Structure 1
């Protein structure tokens, strides 16, 4: 399924400078031409024809800062920008006349020749009386800071001009300065004379302009970016499977001409182009029905029309639309795109002032880039499942919209509402539900950065081996696209039930029921191990997905990316002179934990783990889930474990199969709830330096909750002890099994998450994780040895 990207044109693909030239020259002609206001009383008016002089004169009359303010306020069309500048100056001009001088000008009809003649007479009389020319620019600039305009954006600002003029002039004014009034048409026509020039204007409208000799600012247009770079960017997006469209305030002719000149028009799909012509036609249809809604940005009409030409009916707005992307440089683009349900990408190439950027970013675009050349790289990044996993906690709404896009692009799946269910257990995964054709489905993916293996999600293998599995409806196994879709399951998850008991919260299932369910699961698991056990060669065992959780995390980049070159602050040494230790130095330290000296340093443990946990070893292997922690287990009928998310399922050594659930179900509450743990934890670290090197002395009060200890006892007695006996009887128990278990356990606290992620992990909890890793790596299950021997 191809995804549509809808681009604004000016400030994104094309430059707006020529339009701004036309806006300033329109205002200049109104101010000084004897045909219009003629504020200085000059006798004639000759249009400038030189591009440089046009630019200078235009900006002197209508400063760029003012134009950028209008854009920042979501006045998106250059016609409307020009009109906003003209209106407030005319209102200011009328405000400088006395009430008596204004009387002949009523009713206000600034588009009529007769009225314009009366205005010129009034201004002539004022000059004669005061010997002063009108002050046309005030220090305060446009009036949008006044209370009347507070909180208003876009075209609604223009529709407040009548009320502003009424208050400013002390007159009841209606339908004069609002958008789509006769005065708006009048200003647009004059703008078009300047922008198109005499020849093109005559061909377009069938009559010559009121003022001859205008060269046409359209011929002064220059590309915003090098055309070859724009072409490569657009071609790259199309090669990636995107369709490209436009939503612009230009009419089609004015949009097509520069794009044709830059050889870019063919990059855009004709059925996904919305120009101002469509806006005018739709607004005319609404007015025939008595509806005065304005459909220019920030209204979502243009983006919805570009997506689907059927238009912004109530049914269209409510209909489940395919995900799409809006790229623009203005508040109108961001507000309109968001209202249309699109992902929004703001380009800073058109927001050229600090105020414009501030207001653009205040619209909270989903993503921000400097210019469109960065778009392909951005989209490649945000489409990664890792990005969605990280965003689920801090920006869930954005993550859900990205996931709709991912489903459409990667699975050709058009979903309705997507709901992520971020859980503390989702350290390297995410899950949730989506709706399609009135049905809801459950999905889950495991995100394994620096992954070395690509075969995942062997749910059928587990089911055939006897596991009580939620069988997936669809599985995607490719690297970076691993996703499992299930029928919706309404049983509670063991992780939530355990947490409730652990914290003393109301629980629908008592602790003894959870422990009994664990005992039955261990007994059943042992039966499956015995039924599926067989010898595997070193080559076969090397491909087991479970190694991704241990050896590949050690050697595949995760250890290095988390810790190499990093400094770790010691808790309790705050301030500017906070004591810290570099990770490379930490590797060499001896440890004393709660008064017990540990024999191996962390560096020695990591080196040992790389050797003892090497995948290429012959072993007695079983069919195992590999990652059956409580976040991947439902409790069915308050009795039996129901497994899902077999991200690392396969044939592997049984001792490795038990490690992840053993560690995470018993020891890892701190990992899922780091801030809550930090509040209750007492931990201190002292760094001692002596002749035999550095020593870390750590004391802490962390203990697994009673329910966790009960699970540990059950698992050791009911599963691990008989498992060791079986392996020994089969002659398949490695001589170094205790060290292998200890080193695999070390990997869990050290490499599941980045302990140095300071935005997520408080310093004391970081040290708790490091301490647990070193303690488990040294002692393994030795503290519970009596539970592993017969009669224990």
Structure 2
């Protein structure tokens, strides 16, 4: 699918001010020229000669507040805006003469009709004041927008003038066409109008507002914006109510026209031609905005009225009015609304109420936004609080990146989805499961290498399709109905109904530990430092420390104390203080642990490697037939050190409930923090203990994987002297860098401190992993 952005012009790229000036000049001429109504009895009418005069005359009869009020109600075309004001003035003027019934229906294009109106106005001495119009507060028009509002003008006229005939003020009526032609006289000026229409204006001397058009923003900013979108691979189009000549001339003058694809430019000219063809077929239909046709034709040049709509989000629309939002949504596009066209508070409120998909300050923000729209990280974040929008973005992503036109999609956000998302989609009557991992500040591309695991002996779900493009990874699986270990562990520890017993879960862990050790032994092989450096598992540890995540999470940031939210301590301070946890003084500071981790986890080290999943936490594990693990989502599968392969499941399956359920855990966690700035010490006292099922999993992992693994590596002469530092440094990264512990919107401060406590304690030799017992085992078996 082609990546396409369709731009409205006025209020987005081009300024509408000269169009508004033009509309006011039309009204001014109708009101004051001896050729038309001549409400103040002039003997002649001489058009203004400067742009300043043009603006002053226009503003006197058509103030911006009235213009914005109409545009906020989706009267989008400048011709229609002008005509709506014309109708309101006409109704007001006719209401002030004695025999207005004789002047209905109006024939403003007819000289004799204008003469009759002038005669009555000469006797009535009417008041002409835009404040008298107040159209948008009139009950007859209240709540109506777009063409519906224009259609109500006939009803307003009948009510105000007590006339019976209908259709006097209809859209595309003779009066509408007359106002349009008069508009063109003022906008184009004598020379261009004569060239385009083949006759001179009825009132000559018009200098042409088109000659004073200005871009909405500096041309350099607009050019940089369009260049950026081109660099991202977007095709740019235009959908405007302007005629073809008027749309292209200013863009050509600004040097911007070359950015737009000719086949994706739709103006009033193309819309009028499509309407003409429909009339010839006996299907009269108005196709101008907010009808979706102009947007759809701009995005898909072969589109015809009545064709099926494309998938939601197949293209993007950048507009500035409620009409743009309505039209874009009716065409199943995403609408990026810019506020540059909404110049009053009322217009801004109505634009927001029209519910654009995204609201931007101006068009220069579009390139950054579309990067986010097409970024899986955006979908991952939105799944928790704007799931419907996230699903729509993902549907678009599948079409763009994998050429999948899916019928329906459902994200299934879970607490375990800290850096991932998954769900189901249907296509052609078949249902599939999808999953991706989103690595913020990632340096290495992830590799979904399920085949490698399968061939090594892992019980793993083989995907039906995988996308491995850097930053755009996705795995699609057949739908698996087995329960997920993460859900069952949580249900068991919270005493909720569960599909397996305590004993079954522990037995499954033992079985998998024994199988995992066997796989390690069967797949062991030495690798060079260069080969080891390329292992994807390093993304989870060393590259999170050095690739930007540590800095983006914590540099210059502070964390409030749990019981003193007004008192904060900076991360820099936390790194220098000594920590005393439950009465035990920790040997190394947090800063010491981070620096050590950067050294011992450095990837370019030769050594023994095995084939491992890398990220086998319980969120990536089904329990098949109630007895054995079935893996999926091998985002970091590869050949790497077994000391690192065991770390993520060791931490996340046992110690990380607070990370997944922070607001549920916080009330049951008693944690006190005391900061002694003079001594440079932080004292932590907490009583957060492991639930029995997680304690049992830890003991099983110690007995059936960690002990025999270390003993086997030692017997092979492959256990590094600093193996404890390697494992504890990797454990440090899990609580510290999986999520931002200082993110107050995600975590209560107490849970942030609990995470820091785990980072400091797991990062150095503590009783949590019983390191002495492990060392004794290694020594005994050697």
TM-score normalised by the chain length of structure 2:
0.91
Give SS of 1:642's match. strand
User: Aligned with 2:735: secondary structure?
Assistant: helix
Residue equivalent to 1:345:
336
Partner of 1:297: 289
1:585 aligns with 2:573: yes
Structure 2 counterpart of 1:638: 626
Q: Does 1:769 align with 2:767?
A: no
Distance 1:780 1:660, change over 3 A: farther
- Please tell me whether residue 699 in structure 1 is matched to residue 685 in structure 2: yes
Following the alignment from structure 1 to structure 2, what is the Cα–Cα distance between the partners of residues 235 and 542?
37
Output one character per residue of 1:404-430: Cα deviation in whole Å (capped at 9) or x when no partner: 444444445555544433222121122
Q: Distance in 2 between matches of 1:736 and 1:567?
A: 33
- SS of the residue 1:656 aligns to: helix
Deviates more, 1:147-156 or 1:666-675: 147-156
**Given the alignment of the two structures, is residue 687 of structure 1 paired with residue 687 of structure 2, yes or no?**
no
Q: CA deviation at 1:199?
A: 4.1
Residue 482 of structure 1 aligns to a residue whose secondary structure is strand
| Residue 158 of structure 1 pairs with residue 146 of structure 2 | no
Report the counterpart of residue 142 of structure 1 in structure 2.
Answer: 134
Where do 5+ consecutive residues of structure 1 fail to align? 128-132
Range with greater deviation from structure 2 (721-730 or 507-516): 507-516
In the alignment, the residues of structure 2 paired with residue 487 and residue 721 of structure 1 have an alpha-carbon distance, to the nearest angstrom, of 36
**DSSP 3-state at the match of 1:393:** coil
CA distance in 2, matches of 1:433, 1:773: 35
CA contact (8 A) 1:433 1:440 kept: yes
Number of the residue aligned with 1:325: 316
Which shows bigger deviation, 407-416 or 15-24?
Answer: 407-416
How far apart in 2 are the matches of 1:240 and 1:331? 28
1:269 to 253, 257, 261: 261
Query: How far apart in 1 are the matches of 2:230 and 2:601?
Result: 45
Structure 1 stretches of at least 4 aligned residues deviating more than 6 Å after TM superposition: 288-292
Give yes or no for the alignment of 1:104 onto 2:96. Answer: no
Deviations 1:651-675 (A, max 9, x none): 1121211110111111112111222
Alpha-carbon distance between aligned partners in 2 of 1:290 and 1:496, rounded to the nearest angstrom: 61
RMSD: 3.0
Paired with 2:269 and 2:187, the residues of 1 have a C-alpha distance of 17
Match of 2:554 in 1: 563
SS in 2 for 1:666: coil
Q: Is residue 675 of structure 2 the alignment partner of residue 675 of structure 1?
A: no
Q: 2:45 is paired with a residue of what secondary structure?
A: coil
Structure 2 counterpart of 1:187: 179
Residue 107 (structure 1) shift: 4.7
Q: 2:86 corresponds to which residue?
A: 86
CA 1:242–1:291 in structure 2 vs 1: closer, same or farther (change >3 Å)?
same
Could you say which residue in structure 2 is the equivalent of 1:130?
none
| Pair 229,745 (structure 1): closer, same or farther in 2 beyond 3 Å | closer
Per-residue CA distance 1:464-496 (angstroms, 9 max, x = gap): 111122223343434323333333434333222
SS at match of 2:653: helix
CA distance in 1, matches of 2:313, 2:739: 35
Q: Within 2, Cα distance between the matches of 1:316 and 1:124? A: 56
Whether the 8 Å CA contact 1:568–1:756 is kept in 2: the answer is yes
Deviates more, 1:166-175 or 1:326-335: 166-175
Matches within 5 A, 1:484-523: 484-523=475-514
Alpha-carbon shift at residue 158 of structure 1 (Å): 1.7
**Structure 1 residue 300 displacement after superposition:** 1.6
The answer for the alignment partner of 1:608 in structure 2 is: 596
Question: Structure 1 stretch 299-308 or stretch 370-379: which is displaced more?
Answer: 370-379
1:361–1:527 distance in 2 versus 1, CA, 3 Å? same
1:43-91 C-alpha deviation (Å, 9 max, x unpaired): 2323234333222212222122322332222221101111122222222
Stretch deviating more after TM superposition (180-189 or 32-41):
180-189
Q: Give the 3-state SS of the residue equivalent to 1:741 in structure 2.
A: helix
Equivalent residue in structure 2 for 1:372, among 357, 363, 366? 363
The 3 A distance-change label for structure 1 pair 256 and 726 is same
**Which residue of 726, 732, 739 maps to 2:712?**
726
Counterparts in 2 of 1:435 and 1:260: CA distance versus 1, 3 Å: farther
Match of 2:376 in 1: 385
Tell me the distance in 1 between the aligned counterparts of 2:439 and 2:104.
73
**Contact 1:162–1:173 (8 Å) recurs in 2:** no
Does structure 2 retain, via aligned residues, the 8 Å contact 1:418–1:434? yes
Deviation of 1:587 after TM superposition, in Å, equals 1.6
Unaligned regions of 5+ residues in structure 2, if any?
A: none
- Over 3 Å counting, the alpha-carbon distance change for 1:636 and 1:177 in structure 2 is farther
Q: 2-side partners of 1:239 and 1:611: how far apart?
A: 39
